[in-house]
Structures are given as C-alpha cells and as structure tokens.
C-alpha cells in the first residue's frame, strides 16, 4: 500500500528520512533502507540537505523503488531553475516515483559549497503549484504536455515557528497550491502541536508530525546553536545529560513523542539524521 | 547610491601588469561617500603606488564618473592620455565609462569592487535597498523588498528557518517576511500577503539592460527623417 492509501486508510502512518551518500557508493544507504522496509509507509530521500552536496534525491528515490521501498522524493528550490525543476520532476514520475515533497531548501551558505549560486527561481508555494500543473498535464506556462504526472504532493510546515501567523499564511497558500500532505519540522511542544493539528486537520490535508532523534545532549546543543528553526527544550537536554546511554535515551524520547502523536495525529515523520538504523527501535518503542 | 569597497592593493598591482605610469580617476558622487574614491583616497592610492615604484601622472576627481561627458572632458588632458594605464576609483559603471572614453589601446582598470545599490541610513551606514529586478513588488510587501531583504528572495512568506523572527542566513537580521507581515498588519493590509505571488519574470532583466530616452549625439530625430510620418 502506498503512502497516500495508507494515510487515507485512517491508520497511523510513519515515514522516515534517509540521507543519500556523499559519493556514489550506495551500499550503506541501501542497507539502511532495507532495515526500514516493512516498518514505514515511505522513506523521504533528502535533496542535498543543509546544502551539503550529496548523491541526487532523484537517483536515490529510483534506487529505493528497485528495493521495493516507496520513496518520498524531496525537491528543494535551492539548486534548480524552473526548467530543471519541471524536467527532473517529470523524470521522477517516469522512474516510478509517486510522492514528492516540495521544500524551499537551506541556503547554500549553510552547506559545503558556500560559493555556489543560490537559485530559488521559484519558492516552495510556487513549486507546489508547478507540480499541480504537471499533474494536470500542463507546464508552468500552461502548455499541454505529452503525458502528465500524478504525484501525491507534500510540503513542509513549521508548527513552532515564531511568530506563527506568517507561517500559517504560507501553510494555507501551500494547501491552495495543491499540497495534500504535510511533514512538519521537528516538534518539541506537543501541546502547541495539538492546537495546530486541531485547526490544520479541518483542511482536507494529512499531517505527519516531525520527530527528530536526539543522539546526545551535545547534539541537542549543536542543533540549538546551528540549525535554523530548531529549539530543543531544556527538559530533553537534562534527560539526555543524565543518561548512561544517551542514544538509547534519545530513542526513548522519540518513541514517547510518536506514542503521543498516535493519540491524535495522522502520522509521524521520523528524522534520524544519519542514524536511520535507530528508526525501527523508535517505532517499536512507540 | 552605489556602494564600493577597495580591492586588495596586491590585486590592483597585479592587474597593472608592470605598467608604470598610472593616471587615477576618482568619483565625487557615490565613491567619495563610501570613502573609496574621493580626494583623500586618491591621495592614499597615489602614495601607495609611488611607494611601490609606480609614477602617478595625475588624477581627476569628477562629479560623477559614470557620466561619459565628464570622462571625455578629463580624458583630453595629456597626462591621462599618455599614461600606461588608468586606474579608476569608482564603481564598475564608472570604470566602463572612463574606458569607453579612453583610447582603446589604453588599459582602464578598477581599483574597487562594486557591491550594491544602497539606502543610506546616515553617512557611512549603507544598506542594500533595491535589487533592480525590473518588476517592483513593494506595493504588495509593505515596501520591504523580499528580493533584497530575504537571502532566498522568497515571494510567498518566510522559509522554515526563521527563528524567533530572525533570519537563518544573516542571523543578526530580522526575517524580511516577518517584517513584511508586521508592517502589513499595522496597515491592515494582510490580505496582500495571503495572495499567492507568481514566480518572477526574469525575462525582464536580461542583461545588458538599457533605457534610451533620446537619440545618440548627431543622429537625425525620427520626425525630421525623409518619409517619416508625423
């Protein structure tokens, strides 16, 4: 069953992120993906996340299909103009990709090619709209295509953005543009997320709450200092600092969050950033 | 105003490729205000070059170096004409204007890097004010420019990186879209932010751009041409 059917079945749906390798050796990537097979509805394949150049999300999505794992093809606005975006997105469809996640993308200054030209020819709302156009058999300029796409289109929302109203306006624009499911940025304040979900769930979209695996207190401090929009709350850091096995504690915290989500949300999106082998433990503990 | 900054002196010397007799141009407009091309900086550059064994044959400080007429007038003086190279302490447009006025055989070189078009908060405090995108969106954005103030140039709201209202790229800056939101809210015009903006039309800013409000010097006005309609 695909991601769309899974989400529409009413069952709690879990997706997880897998990061492509930095290079052409796909062995570890595929091993990690195989571990997740059967435990998740789909695997998100990141698009050079944090603007660090890696093997393409399109190629890795296609590799997952060969393994019998359904990918969520992540596409950012950072590296491609509208011609390349449309071309690659149609390419993904022809390779059997069914789900796509439209993101703005981190700025190149965050990554390993700081001197690169940051493209952002379209933004994430316009990218969703562009995909909706391809789904309807039209390119961005309204020209009819020989063969259309049929993507299940997702986008990202940050329920903990501060201030929230500008984010909410953008969230609604993404829905209007054609986004059908949302994977949120990492959730830390569950009460806040419940309030967000109560409003968002009225809008005919599926929401997967984002859960980020904290591997240690050090990582939590690093994220707080370096990753835009991430604020790991103090109580989590205290828990991690007091733990003999911080990774086990991080898994426990993530499981607890997934368990909370199961009570009210459509699903969870687990981001283990390089520690994909822990995803199964998080799911089993939840 | 066009903001400029000094090139590294070694890079300038390298660009001179051993030419010894150097004539300098400054600019009394933008570069003087940036402290990169006024009287004081021309003197500094002269001293700096002479220390390194160059001969500075003279200098011109014109009201606006990007005006062809000024460059042509200065270029008539012999010291300028007979120098091995001309070094221009002005923005790139200034360098090109002087180069176009100069004899094609004479290298005209930049002493500055041109950075941006500024709004001037006060003397010596410059902020990028406009990206010259050829399709002004300020009417919809509370006159805060998403192309200029957002490092990603996003047109439909903030990215996910906004943290407590601050930009993820320039962490000391407020997020352009949070500012747009706050200003539009004060003006009771938030409906403008709820409208989805289409992608930018980059065909409007294909380079080189030009605006021709009149005919070149010596050209016959269209209305006086034989057979032209009134």
Structural domain contains residue A234: no
pLDDT-above-90 percentage for chain A: 93
CA nearest neighbour of A216 among A189, A192, A194, A244:
A244
Judge if B101 and B160 occupy the same domain.
no
ipTM: 0.94
Judged by CB atoms closer than 8 Å, whether chains meet at B157 and A120 is answered as no
Query: What percent of chain B lies above the pLDDT cut of 70?
Result: 95
A118/B152 CB distance under 8 A: yes
Chain B partners within 8 Å of A104 (Cβ) = 152, 154, 159-160
Return the CATH number at A17. 3.20.20.220
* Cβ pair B162:A229 closer than 8 A: yes
Mean pLDDT of A27-50: 96
Asked, for residue A260, whether it belongs to a domain, the answer is no
Q: State how far residue A119 is from chain B, nearest Cα, in angstroms.
A: 8
Average of pLDDT values for A167-185?
Answer: 98
Residue A47, in any domain of the structure? yes
The model's pTM? 0.93
Asked if the Cβ–Cβ distance from B199 to A140 is below 8 Å, we say yes
Residue B66 structural domain: 2-115
Task: Please choose, from the candidates B7, B29, B12, the residue with its C-alpha nearest in 3D space to the C-alpha of residue B85.
Answer: B12
- Beta strands in chain A, from DSSP E residues, in sequence order: 13-18, 42-45, 71-76, 99-103, 152-157, 181-186, 206-212, 267-271
Q: Measure A94 CA to nearest chain B CA, in Å.
A: 26
Residue A176 near residue A124 (C-beta atoms within 8 A): no
Shared domain for B145 and B65, answered yes or no, is no
> What integer pLDDT is reported at residue B219 of this predicted model?
74
Q: Which residues of chain B make contact with A126, given a CB cutoff of 8 A?
A: 155-156, 196-199
Question: Between residues A210 and B214, which one has the greater pLDDT?
Answer: A210
The answer to whether residue B121 is domain-embedded is no
- pLDDT of B49 higher than 60: yes
Q: Do B157 and A158 touch (CB under 8 A)?
A: no
Query: Residue B57 maps to which CATH number?
Result: 3.40.50.2300
CB A75 within 8 A of CB A88: yes
B89 and B143 assigned to the same domain:
no
B152 and A121 in contact by Cβ < 8 A? Answer: no
- Residue B216: what pLDDT? 81
CA distance A144 to chain B (A): 19
Burial B142-151 (b: 16+ CB within 10 A, else e): bebbbbbbbb
Which positions in chain A touch B199 (Cβ < 8 Å)?
82, 121-123, 126, 140
| CA dist., res. B142 & res. B145, Å (int) | 8
Structure token pair of residue A116: 């690169």
Is B112:B91 a contact under the CB 8 Å cutoff? Answer: yes
Domain presence at residue A285: no
With beta carbons less than 8 A apart as the criterion, state whether B84 and B20 touch. yes
Rounded to whole angstroms, the Cα distance separating B120 from B131 reads: 15
The full DSSP string for A124-140 is: HHHHHHHHHHHHTTB-T
Asked whether residue B216 is assigned to any structural domain, the reply reads: no
CA distance A85 to chain B (A): 13
Q: Are both B41 and B98 inside the same structural domain?
A: yes
Please report the pLDDT score of residue A271 as a whole number: 96
Cα–Cα distances (Å) from A158 to A162, A174, B184, in that order, read 9, 13, 22
Cis peptide before A174 (omega within 30 of 0): no
Q: Report the pLDDT value the prediction gives residue B230, as an integer from 0 to 100.
A: 47
pLDDT at residue B225 in the model: 61
Which residues constitute the domain of residue A185?
3-213+265-276
Same domain, B94 and B176: no
Based on the domain organization, do B106 and B165 belong to the same domain?
no
Q: Is residue A155's pLDDT more than 90?
A: yes
pLDDT at A182 over 90: yes
Distance set, CA B156 to CA A80, A84, A181, B141, B188 (Å): 18, 21, 19, 10, 18
Same domain membership, residue B100 and residue B16: yes
Residue A245 lies in a domain: no
**pLDDT by residue (tens digit) across B65-99?**
999 999 999 988 889 999 999 999 999 999 999 99
Q: Any chain B CB within 8 A of the CB of A121?
A: yes
- How many domains does the structure of chain A reveal? 1
B15 in the same domain as B81? yes
Please report whether residue A222 resides in a domain.
Answer: no
A110–chain B Cβ distance below 8 A for any pair: yes
Band of pLDDT at residue A1, cut at 50, 70 and 90: confident
Whether B82 and B7 share a structural domain: yes
Which residues in chain B touch residue A116, judged by CB atoms under 8 angstroms apart?
none
Residue B92 lies inside a defined structural domain of this protein: yes
Number of structural domains (chain B) is 2
Do B111 and B171 sit in the same domain of this protein? Answer: no
Select the residue of A109, A124, A229 nearest B163 (Cβ to Cβ).
Answer: A229
Compare all CA atoms of chain A with the CA of B176 and give the residue at the minimum distance: A166
In this structure, are B73 and B171 located in the same domain?
Answer: no
pLDDT tens-digit readout, A198-254: 999 899 999 999 999 999 999 999 988 887 667 899 999 999 999 999 999 999 999
- Please tell me which residue of chain A has the smallest CA distance to B168: A228
pLDDT digits (tens, 9 = 90+) for B147-199: 999 999 999 999 998 888 999 899 899 999 999 999 999 999 999 999 999 99
Q: How far is B128 from chain A (nearest CA, A)?
A: 18
Does any domain span residue B223? no
Is residue A127 within 8 Å of residue A156, measured between CB atoms?
A: no
Q: Is residue A219 part of a domain?
A: no
Same domain, B104 and B174: no
Q: Is residue B205 part of a domain?
A: no
């Amino acid at each position: 069953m695909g991601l769309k059917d899974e989400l529409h079945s009413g069952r709690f749906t879990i997706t997880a992120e897998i990061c492509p390798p930095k290079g052409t050796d796909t062995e570890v990537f595929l091993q990690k993906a195989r571990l997740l097979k059967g435990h998740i509805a789909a695997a998100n394949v990141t698009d050079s996340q944090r603007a660090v150049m890696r093997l393409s999300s399109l190629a890795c999505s296609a590799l997952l299909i060969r393994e019998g794992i359904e990918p969520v093809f992540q596409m950012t606005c950072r590296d491609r103009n509208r011609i390349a975006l449309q071309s690659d997105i149609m390419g993904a469809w022809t390779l059997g990709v069914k789900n796509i996640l439209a993101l703005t993308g981190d700025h190149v200054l965050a990554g390993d090619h700081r001197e690169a030209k940051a493209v952002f020819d379209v933004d994430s709302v316009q990218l969703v709209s562009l995909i909706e156009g391809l789904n309807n058999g039209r390119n961005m300029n309204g020209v009819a295509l020989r063969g259309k796409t049929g993507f299940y289109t997702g986008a990202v929302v940050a329920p903990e953005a501060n201030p929230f109203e500008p984010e909410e306006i953008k969230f609604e624009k993404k829905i209007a543009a054609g986004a059908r499911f949302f994977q949120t940025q990492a959730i830390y304040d569950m009460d806040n997320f419940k309030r967000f979900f109560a409003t968002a769930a009225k809008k005919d979209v599926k929401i997967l709450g984002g859960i980020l695996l904290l591997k240690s207190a050090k990582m939590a401090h690093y994220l707080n200092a370096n990753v835009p929009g991430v604020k790991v709350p103090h109580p989590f850091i205290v828990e991690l600092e007091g733990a003999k096995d911080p990774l086990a504690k991080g898994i426990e915290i993530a499981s607890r969050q997934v368990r909370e989500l199961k009570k009210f949300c459509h699903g969870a999106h687990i981001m283990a950033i390089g520690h994909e082998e822990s995803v199964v433990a998080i799911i089993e503990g939840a | 105003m066009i903001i400029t900054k000094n090139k590294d002196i070694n890079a300038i010397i390298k660009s001179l490729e051993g030419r010894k007799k150097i004539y300098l141009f400054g600019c009394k407009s933008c570069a003087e205000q940036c402290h990169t091309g006024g009287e004081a900086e021309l003197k500094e550059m002269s001293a700096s070059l002479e220390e390194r064994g160059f001969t500075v044959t003279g200098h011109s400080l014109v009201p606006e170096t990007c005006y062809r007429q000024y460059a042509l007038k200065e270029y008539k003086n012999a010291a300028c004409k007979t120098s091995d190279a001309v070094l221009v302490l002005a923005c790139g447009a200034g360098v090109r204007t002087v180069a176009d006025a100069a004899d094609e055989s004479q290298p005209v070189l930049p002493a500055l890097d041109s950075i941006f078009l500024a709004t001037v908060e006060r003397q010596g405090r410059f902020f990028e004010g406009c990206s010259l995108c050829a399709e002004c969106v300020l009417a919809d954005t509370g006159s805060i420019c998403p192309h200029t103030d957002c490092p990603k140039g996003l047109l439909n709201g903030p990215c996910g990186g906004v943290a407590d209202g601050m930009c993820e790229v320039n962490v000391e800056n407020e997020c352009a879209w949070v500012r747009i939101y706050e200003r539009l809210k004060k003006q009771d015009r938030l409906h403008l932010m709820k409208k989805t903006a289409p992608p930018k039309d980059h065909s409007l800013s294909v380079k080189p751009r030009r605006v021709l409000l009149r005919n070149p010097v010596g050209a016959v006005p269209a209305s006086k041409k034989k057979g032209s309609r009134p």
